[in-house]
Homo-oligomer: A and B are copies of this chain.
């Protein structure tokens, strides 16, 4: 993205890290900044950084959404716009954070949290005026797909985990992927934003891929079936129901079309029927682009 700097001029004026220290330069830090001693707190860092937009990228605590939620609140309290690639705050506290952003008069963006920068939230917000999202079905967890593919070829679950580790897609603990917790966080994030569900990952009915065996997958494959870990949402009279489950589908179902790290989401809507988006084999570049597109969108809106 460096080649586009002249079209989209911006400066990184400060970086605060967990392990490497903190760097400040109001004139703009270089690509390889020199880090000084760490700021005593995120609050101190934000006060010294004198930025306009905060980009929040801490690792997810998948049981609470912290510390990202507190970091975002600290930014809002200082009148700073926020972009995050962290699904926790959107899965656990979207409704409250959105209200706080509005009250503070700042923008809050998070396109990268569910599909590595593929337009999902912006798709609905910018391009589908008047459309109500009635539900969705998504293959959103790369690790489980890589593991299932390995198991379909006869490898064990453990060998599948190793394969996913080698291509760098697992969370620190692969069981967050295998037991469907990552998919539940993404389902909650999508439902909170697109369907005003006001839910949390704990409320998602969840069943992962841990009990599947290579023998079972090979047998299903021979019958023209395939297993995919899906996140689903639907509106019911009792509110939005969310479910994560390893589902057996016909192999030619588009929900099985994603191989490897690819992700796919179908939105079930009132006016546009079933429409979908996908990314083929995304990586960190796509996540970075999601942050960039959020930054551009904030500049357009302020």
Contact = CB atoms under 8 A, between A and B. Distances in A.
Given A251-B252, A266-B280, A277-B275, A119 B129 contact: no
Interface residues of A, number: 44
Given A127-B119, A127-B123, A127-B127, A272 B289 contact: yes
Given A130-B296, A251-B252, A252-B251, A118 B272 contact: yes
Contact of A130 (B256, B285, B292): B292
A259 B252 contact: yes
Contact of A8 (B129, B285, B292): B129
A96 interface: no
Contacts of A293: 127-130
Interface in A89-121: 117-119
Contacts of A276: 277-280
Contact of A117 (B8, B272, B278): B272
A215 interface: no
Contacts of A156: none
Contacts of A119: 123, 127-128
A282 interface: yes
Contacts of A128: 119, 293
Task: List the 7 closest pairs (A to B, CB-CB), nearest first.
Answer: A119-B127, A274-B280, A129-B296, A126-B126, A257-B257, A254-B257, A122-B127
